[in-house]
Amino acid sequence: MKAIILFGAPGSGKGTVAEKIKAVTRYIHISTGDMLRESVKKGTPVGREAEGYMKRGALVPDEVIIKLVEERLDKGGADDLYMFDGFPRTVPQAELLEKSLGRRGGAVSHVIFLDTPREVLIQRLTGRRTCRKCGWNCHIVNIPSKKAGICNVCGGELYQRPDDQEATIVNRLDVYNKQTESLVARYEKQKLLVKVNSNQKIEKLIEEIRRILG
């Protein structure tokens, strides 16, 4: 059992990269956010436990998140390859993940850091527009609507959500960097961290990551 971790700030493209890697390799994509939402929706024991915290507006504890991860790992085999997207984010989460993999004879082999200039992150995140009527998303630069300000799907008005505004985005990036700096240093010390430039064509980026993974 081997695992890789996709690491990078909001807007670095982790989700897109994960889907591309999944399509051309044997890696199984694990997004703890998706797993959490699915468990809550299905009403599983872990989902109900997590929902209690979420309803109170509290962060879901690391111990609950790792239960989700362990449930997924228990479904796999010794030869499976896993790709974690956006997890872990803290040193305690990393330690729990390493112990969980270790009990199953596995380990983290690479931490792929999607290195993105701050101004690019801000441009990507502030450029999103959402339809007021149907919720369709686009981007004013990367994926523009056919008609400025108008939804391609239903013709509704496109607007910028409050959490996509620049002041909010800058704060999110600052919080993320502060939260993860110790984890980045830890993976660098373990010689697991590999930085790749995510501000390039997606095809070249995936090719570079595949070379790193061998």
Catalytic residue positions, numbered: 14, 89, 128, 161, 172
* 159 sits in which H/E element: strand 158-159
Question: 156-183: string of b/e by CB count within 10 Å (b at 16+)?
Answer: bebeeeeebeeeebeebbeebeeebeeb
Establish whether the linkage from the previous residue to 88 is cis, with ω within 30° of 0: yes
Residues 6+ apart with CB under 8 A from 39: 46, 47, 50, 68
d(Cα 134, Cα 77) in Å, to the nearest integer?
Answer: 41
d(Cα 57, Cα 120) in Å, to the nearest integer?
Answer: 31
**Whether 22 contacts 126, CB under 8 Å:** no
Phi, psi at residue 138, to the nearest 5°? -145, -175
